[in-house]
Amino acid sequence: MGAKIYIPAMIKRMKLPDNRIAQHLLFWSAYFIFLFLISLMRSNEGRDVSFHLPFEFMQIAVMISVVYLNLNILIPRYFERRKFFLYGLLMITLVLVNGGIIVSFMRLFPEFSPPFILKDRPSYMFVIPMAFMQLSLVAVTSALHFMRVNQRLQQEALSVKDLESRQLKAELDSLKAQVNPHFLFNSLNNIYSHSLLESPQTPELILKLSGLLNYIIYECQDEQVPLEKEMEFLTNYIALEKVRIDESVQVDLRMEISDTTMMIAPLLFVPLIENAFKYGVNISSDKPSIDVEFKQEFSELRFKCTNLRDNFEDEAKSVGSVGGIGLENVRKRLDLIYPGKHSFEIMDDGHQFSVEMVIKLENETL
Do both 12 and 149 map to the same domain? yes
Helix (H) or strand (E) segment spanning residue 342: strand 342-348
pLDDT score of 2: 43
Q: What is the pLDDT of residues 185-204, one digit of tens each?
A: 777 777 877 787 777 878 88
Closest CA to 28 of 150, 95, 127, 20: 20
Do both 137 and 264 map to the same domain? no
pLDDT score of 249: 86
Domain holding 279, by residue range, is 248-360
74 in a structural domain: yes
27 in a structural domain: yes
Q: Which residues contact residue 298 at a Cβ distance below 8 angstroms, ignoring those fewer than 6 apart?
A: 258
Q: How far is CA 312 from CA 57, 316, 324, 350, in A?
A: 88, 6, 20, 7
Do both 14 and 151 map to the same domain? yes
pLDDT score of 231: 94
pLDDT score of 102: 81
C-alpha angle with apex 174: 337 to 338, nearest 5 degrees? Answer: 5
Distance CA 244, CA 309 (A): 19
Distance CA 316, CA 332 (A): 18
Q: Which of 130, 159, 188 is the last residue of a domain?
A: 159
Q: What is the pLDDT of residues 222-275, one digit of tens each?
A: 889 999 999 999 998 898 888 778 778 899 999 999 998 999 998 889 889 988
- Residues 113 and 106 sit within 8 Å (Cβ to Cβ): yes
pLDDT score of 228: 93
Give the SS3 label for residue 259: coil
Do both 256 and 130 map to the same domain? no
126 in a structural domain: yes
pLDDT score of 45: 53
Task: Report which DSSP code applies to 247.
Answer: T
Do both 36 and 151 map to the same domain? yes
187 in a structural domain: no
Q: Which of 131, 159, 187 is the last residue of a domain?
A: 159
pLDDT score of 3: 43
Q: Which of 159, 193, 212 is the last residue of a domain?
A: 159
Indicate the average pLDDT of the chain. 78
- Residues 278 and 322 sit within 8 Å (Cβ to Cβ): yes
Closest CA to 361 of 334, 343, 336, 341: 341
227 in a structural domain: no
Do both 11 and 137 map to the same domain? yes
223 in a structural domain: no
Q: What is the pLDDT of residues 316-327, one digit of tens each?
A: 444 443 333 567
Do both 147 and 264 map to the same domain? no
Helix (H) or strand (E) segment spanning residue 284: none
Distance CA 183, CA 277 (A): 12
User: How much is the pTM?
Assistant: 0.54
Do both 111 and 10 map to the same domain? yes
Give the SS3 label for residue 282: coil
CB-count exposure of residue 192 (10 Å: 0-12, 13-18, 19+): exposed
Distance CA 78, CA 84 (A): 7
DSSP characters for 99-141?
A: HHHHHHHHHH-GGGS-GGGTTSPPPGGGHHHHHHHHHHHHHHH
262 in a structural domain: yes
Q: Provide the residue count of the chain.
A: 366
Which stretches of the chain are DSSP H helices?
2-14, 20-44, 53-69, 84-108, 127-196, 202-217, 227-244, 270-279, 312-319, 327-337
Stretches where the chain sits below pLDDT 70 are 1-18, 39-53, 111-122, 165, 168-169, 171-183, 283, 285, 310-326, 363-366
10 in a structural domain: yes
- Residues 165 and 337 sit within 8 Å (Cβ to Cβ): no
Domain CATH code at residue 296: 3.30.565.10
Q: Can you name the residues that pair with 71 across neighbouring β-strands?
A: none
Domain tally for the chain?
2
Do both 151 and 254 map to the same domain? no
